[in-house]
Amino acid sequence: MELTAKDWAKAEAIARELAHDVDRNELGKIVSYARRSRDVGRVIELARGLPASGYVRSGRTRSYLTRIADTLQNNLAGITDGEQALAILAWAFRLMTTYQTELGTRKAQGRKSKRSG
């Protein structure tokens, strides 16, 4: 799907709003769900419900999920096409990764290589 200028603006807004202080993996899980459901309403409903769910393991995760839910609610409002929403979210995830790398907030410290047994 080809994104319009408005779609690109939404993807960029989502990425920039979340890049400073949200774990991108939490957004990635929502993108994965969007890929399966292709339903904007269900994606937003999931995002709104996650902060209060048993899935949350810490206050930090709850904060990430609340920020994601608010950001998606604001930026995906009015979109009814699941493919369009998925494209926006997927690009937001990619852009967020880039922005976090540029900001120096995305690091792989503490991760072990699978090769180093």
Predicted local distance difference test score (pLDDT) of residue 18: 97
Predicted local distance difference test score (pLDDT) of residue 103: 87
Query: How far apart (Å, rounded) are the C-alpha atoms in residues 5 and 12?
Result: 11
Question: Which of 76, 74, 69 is closest to 55 using CA atoms?
Answer: 69
pTM given for the model: 0.85
Predicted local distance difference test score (pLDDT) of residue 104: 82
Where the chain has pLDDT below 70, the residues are 106-117
Exposure string of 9-21, with b = 16+ CB inside 10 Å and e = fewer, is ebbbbbbebbbee
